[in-house]
Amino acid sequence: MANGLEKEILFSDEELREMSGVKRGGDYIEVTCGCTSHRYGDAVGRLRVFINGDLEITCECTPGCNEDKLTPAAFEKHSGRETARKWKNNVWVIVNGEKVPLSKTVLLKYYSQASKNANGSHRSCNGRVCHRDEFVCCSKCKKERRFRLRTKEECRIHHDALADVNWKCADLPFDKITCDDEEERASRRVYRGCTRSPTCKGCTSCVCFGCEICRFSDCSCQTCIDFTRNAKA
């Protein structure tokens, strides 16, 4: 049984043959990874790729670093990478002695598949993902900023921003705005991407109470812990 499971969930020896630091676990494989900052140099870590699509990095940038179970995005930020928020291109593994971005390897296969399955399981009748846009208030200027929740990555950015009491406009990764920029007009904010009604105030088609896209197994908030625990039950 164990051997059959391993053959099903892990990459083939051929796929991993030239990668550095490969180790196999029961439901994951582990490889050496890193992220390069022009200022601080290479931050090296150990990337675990799980069958359920989770990616988890233990940082080894310095002997005393205690950062573990980081998402690739968090590891990218921890490394001091100047052009952060593009972790698929900025986090690398070593193949044939060369640094190769994750996006150019097979290692994102299960991550991509999990995203597709999650998107497919939580769609409205016309095929669009059923997470409406949400707003987060800037701790500095008190203006509300829009977050689009179409992908798992976008949901994570909103999830983390909502949990950060010091979140500021400048932290918004996709839209380069500052506190000096005008807040969306109230007449515009009513349009939040519901597939049933453009000005919907919240319905079963656009309000999600928890799914694989907007809940995260590596998050320590009670909402995500409860969702992960119930999903495994």
Q: From first to last of its 233 residues, what are the pLDDT tens digits of the chain?
A: 334 333 444 688 888 988 999 998 878 899 999 999 888 899 999 999 987 778 899 999 888 888 888 888 888 888 888 776 688 999 999 999 999 999 999 998 877 655 545 444 444 434 444 788 999 999 999 999 999 888 888 899 999 999 999 999 999 887 778 999 999 888 888 888 877 777 888 877 788 888 888 999 889 898 898 888 877 65
Residue 91's closest CA among 52, 148, 48? 48
**pLDDT on residue 121:** 43
Residue 77's closest CA among 69, 68, 87? 87
What single DSSP character describes residue 41?
E
Q: Which two tokens stand for residue 161?
A: 């921003």
Q: What is the DSSP string of 67-109?
A: --SB-HHHHHHHTT-TT-S-HHHHEEEEETTEEEEGGGSGGGH
What distance separates the 2 farthest-apart alpha carbons in the chain? 60
- Residue 31 contacts residue 20 (beta carbons within 8 Å): yes
Q: What is the DSSP string of 162-191?
A: HH-TT--GGG-SSS---TTSPPPPHHHHT-
- Residue 33 contacts residue 91 (beta carbons within 8 Å): yes
